[in-house]
Amino acid sequence: AKKLEVMECLPAPNANLPIRVRFHYVDAAGAPAFQDFTNPPTSTGPEWTVGSGVWPNHNRDQWVNPDGTSNTSIVPFYWENLELNGVPVLTVKVNKLPAFLDALGAAPVSVNNSLAIWANTASSATVKQPAIGPSLSTDMGVVIRDADDLVNYGALTGFTTGFSVVTDHRVYIVGDVNQVAMAAPANSGMPAGVQFFPPVSIFAAEKRFG
């Protein structure tokens, strides 16, 4: 139900670092919605803006709404170059998705339980499709972080219906994934007390683990 659409990237020598993305989701009323985020090329780091507000990088604690009011939800997406090989990537911090969606007025992650990430090459000449089999070191990749616990999010609903990522970019999976069990769904036919983990799927042209 969620989609992260790369709309524009930096030119060389920083090619394939995304500076404009469109985030699609289902709102609380069940209607499709989206929000655009832009990082001007003149900025000194991955500091994104939405309207007149600020979409922070992974080191900041809040973003600002277009009307200037503060929003303490940590945004789950940012761009970076991988430390080991310099690959340009769009990083997703899975454990930040529930609070971020709640702040947007979106349906919970039990509804917005999938994330498609793709390059919209029609939106800008700076957006490139990755090579297939294998990707080039200069192609944009996707990093999945902080996905070890998909269940416990305080008062917010967790990924009780599962979590899926779909992309034609190379995916780097950092850390553990789906390590916390939950109660088996009603009418699942599973015995009482059995360990049940939310179903997880990652459909990508390539996957790297570390």
As beta bridge partners, residue 18 has 9
pLDDT class of 53 with cuts at 50, 70, 90: very low
**pTM of the shown model:** 0.83
CA quadruple 14, 19, 20, 21: dihedral, nearest 10:
90
Chain segment 91-129, per-residue pLDDT in tens: 898 998 998 898 888 999 999 999 999 999 999 999 999
At 34, list the tokens. 């989206």
Q: Of the ranges 85-94, 149-158, 191-200, which is most confident?
A: 149-158
pLDDT score, position 72: 53
> For the segment 82-99, what is each residue's pLDDT rounded down to a tens digit?
877 888 888 898 998 998
Cα separation, 17 vs 1, whole angstroms? 24
Number of compact structural domains in the chain: 1
Structure tokens belonging to residue 29: 């009323």
Q: What is the pLDDT of residue 40?
A: 54
Cα-flanking dihedrals φ and ψ of residue 111, to 5°?
A: -100, -50
Domain that holds residue 18: 2-209
Q: If we measure between CA atoms, which residue out of 91, 35, 90 comes closest to residue 66?
A: 35
